[in-house]
Amino acid sequence: MPVKGYAVITVREEVKRRLEELKEVKGFSSLNDVIAYLLDRHSTLCRLEAGRKDDINRLYRRWVRVMDGATAKLDEGLRQQYLEAKRKLQAALKEV
């Protein structure tokens, strides 16, 4: 029976070995600390991934604003090349 506030979990031997290795490398005192560390890193990674998409969209909007103004005075052929590149980039961003 675990101590109040704790639970027992079962993991494969290979997973336990890897957790023990990480415990030694990071200097943690328990596997609980290792699991808490991994969960914190996972949360951080999720926030970074979400922020990355927002950053990409913000940079894209800024690029479009600058390029729309810069290409307005180009001849029609170059303007069409820009608009085609812009469409391809928009399609690629929808896939992200």
Residue ranges per domain, the chain?
A: 13-95
Specify whether the CB–CB gap between 67 and 59 falls below 8 A.
Answer: no
In the prediction, which pLDDT does 27 show? 95
Q: What per-residue confidence (pLDDT) applies to 76?
A: 79
Position 35 pLDDT exceeds 90: yes
- Whole-angstrom CA distances from 1 to 9, 10, 12, 24 are 12, 14, 20, 27
Chain centre to alpha carbon of residue 81: 32
Local confidence band at 47 (pLDDT 50, 70, 90 cut-offs): confident
Distance CA 15, CA 78 (A): 57
Which pLDDT band holds residue 96 (cuts at 50, 70, 90)? Answer: low
- pLDDT digits 0-9 by tens, 8-32: 999 999 999 999 999 999 999 999 9
pLDDT at 68: 79
Say if residues 77 and 58 touch (Cβ distance below 8 Å). Answer: no
Average pLDDT over residues 21-49: 90
- The mean pLDDT of 59-76, rounded to a whole number, is 78
Q: Is the pTM of this model over 0.75?
A: no
Tokens representing residue 7 in the block: 């639970």
